[in-house]
Amino acid sequence: MTKKRPSRKQNVRPDASVAKEAEQIKVHTLDILRAYHGERRNLIPILQDIQAKFGYLPREAIKQVAKSMRIRELEVFGVASFYNQFRLNPPGKHPVKVCLGTACHIKGGRIILEAWERRLGIKVGETTTDREFSLERVACVGCCAMAPVSVVEEKIEGKVSPTRVDGILLSFELEKEKGTDK
């Protein structure tokens, strides 16, 4: 019987830093809205600027945009989720991309994706609450001979197994403990 591996422990972000971030989001979103006179026809460039500023579209910014354009939040979400250039979750400090191109799929890419999901405690498209890791699925990254492939930060990891996933995460934990984490 295989032993169930625990997911990694996530640190909770302090309330003060969450509140400070929400305030900054509000201020910068208002600046961006002002630059475009808050016009509805500028919704996409406004969202692009917000994403360029924060790396994603924060919920607070979406609320602010909806409020100042006098449209429903759902409408803004609808536009944001229609275009795949927009992210609704913050990028993790260590982004993980799992290849599900044909070769990787055949070699068990889905099992690897599930291993990452289990160990990180998130689903694909999400970010851990401590913002350390985000998880995405990508198409062929051009290293099919090394399938199944994961890209961790910018590094290609080939012939990945669930045990290798544990090893990669352990090395991040050790770096963090040593204080050499970037």
Applying CB under 6 A, which of residues 71, 79, 141, 151 lies at the interface with ligand FES?
A: 141
Question: Exposed e or buried b for every residue in 12-39, given b needs 16+ CB within 10 A?
Answer: eeeeeeeeeeeeebeebbeebbeeeebe
Q: Considering only the stretches 33-41, 53-61, 72-80, 140-148, report the one whose residues sit in contact with ligand FES under the rule CB under 6 A.
A: 140-148
User: Cβ 97 to ligand FES, closest distance in Å?
Assistant: 10
- Sign of the dihedral through C-alpha 145, 151, 156, 162: negative
Q: How far is the CB of 144 from ligand FES (least distance, A)?
A: 4
Query: Can residue 120 be called a binding residue for ligand FES (CB under 6 A)?
Result: no
Select from 159, 155, 4 the least CA-distant residue to 171. 155
Nearer to ligand FES, 55 or 142 (CB): 142
Q: How far is the CB of 85 from ligand FES (least distance, A)?
A: 22
Q: Which stretch binds ligand FES (CB under 6 A): 10-18, 80-88, 124-132, 134-142?
A: 134-142
What's the sign of the alpha-carbon dihedral 167, 173, 175, 180? positive
Name the packing angle between helices 15-35 and 43-54 (round to 10°): 140
Give the residue closest to ligand FES by C-beta: 101
Helix (H) or strand (E) holding 136: strand 133-138
Chain residues 97-116 in contact with ligand FES, contact rule CB under 6 A: 99, 101-104
Using CB under 6 A, which of the segments 50-58, 59-67, 95-103, 129-137 binds ligand FES?
A: 95-103
Q: Which of residues 16-75 bind ligand FES (CB under 6 A)?
A: none
Total residues belonging to the chain: 182
**R_g of the chain, CA atoms, integer Å:** 19
Q: How far is the CB of 127 from ligand FES (least distance, A)?
A: 23
Taking CB under 6 A as the rule, does residue 149 contact ligand FES? Answer: yes
